[in-house]
């Protein structure tokens, strides 16, 4: 019995685009054979995913993400920048307070620029 490949979805296309960006940015994983070895995913599967012929399983997304140094969710973020992938982390109370102050200062600056007709001028 032949397994029918799962047709790509918009999410699969996003994964494929991000994978291509990451492969282009990393010399060690630029080729399908190198990515296959690093991820333990068959080269034929990687080729089908890159050509949009197959949707990856969650396990494949996880393995490929690990091979490129990311978490699986990061592979599904639109406009992924290989040199600046999205991150999430818990912040402590001090960091939360600093972030709150920064946001308030940014709002004050934006309000000042609107009221004064532009950014502060350098002397």
Using CB atoms within 10 A of its CB, is residue 19 exposed (0-12), middle (13-18) or buried (19+)? buried
CB atoms within 10 A of CB 106: 10
Q: Which CATH architecture has domain 10-76?
A: Orthogonal Bundle (1.10)
Q: Is the pLDDT of residue 16 over 80?
A: yes
The pLDDT of residue 114: 74
Q: What is the pTM of this model?
A: 0.66
pLDDT in tens, 55-89: 999 999 999 999 999 999 999 999 999 888 887 76
| pLDDT computed for residue 6 by the predictor | 59
Higher pLDDT, 100 or 13: 13
Give, for 110, the enclosing helix (H) or strand (E): helix 93-116
Instruction: Give the model's pLDDT for residue 40.
Output: 96
What is the average per-residue pLDDT within 10-34? 93
Residue range 97-121, pLDDT digits in tens: 887 888 788 888 877 777 777 666 6
């Amino acid at each position: 019995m032949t397994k029918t490949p799962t047709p790509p979805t918009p999410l699969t296309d996003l994964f494929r685009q991000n994978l291509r960006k990451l492969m282009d940015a990393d010399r060690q994983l630029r080729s399908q054979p190198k990515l296959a070895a690093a991820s333990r995913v068959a080269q034929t599967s990687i080729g089908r995913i890159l050509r949009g012929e197959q949707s990856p399983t969650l396990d494949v997304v996880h393995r490929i993400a690990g091979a490129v140094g990311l978490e699986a969710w990061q592979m599904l973020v639109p406009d992924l920048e290989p040199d600046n992938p999205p991150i999430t982390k818990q912040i402590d109370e001090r960091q939360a307070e600093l972030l709150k102050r920064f946001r308030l200062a940014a709002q004050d600056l934006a309000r000042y620029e609107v009221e004064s007709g532009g950014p502060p001028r350098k002397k």
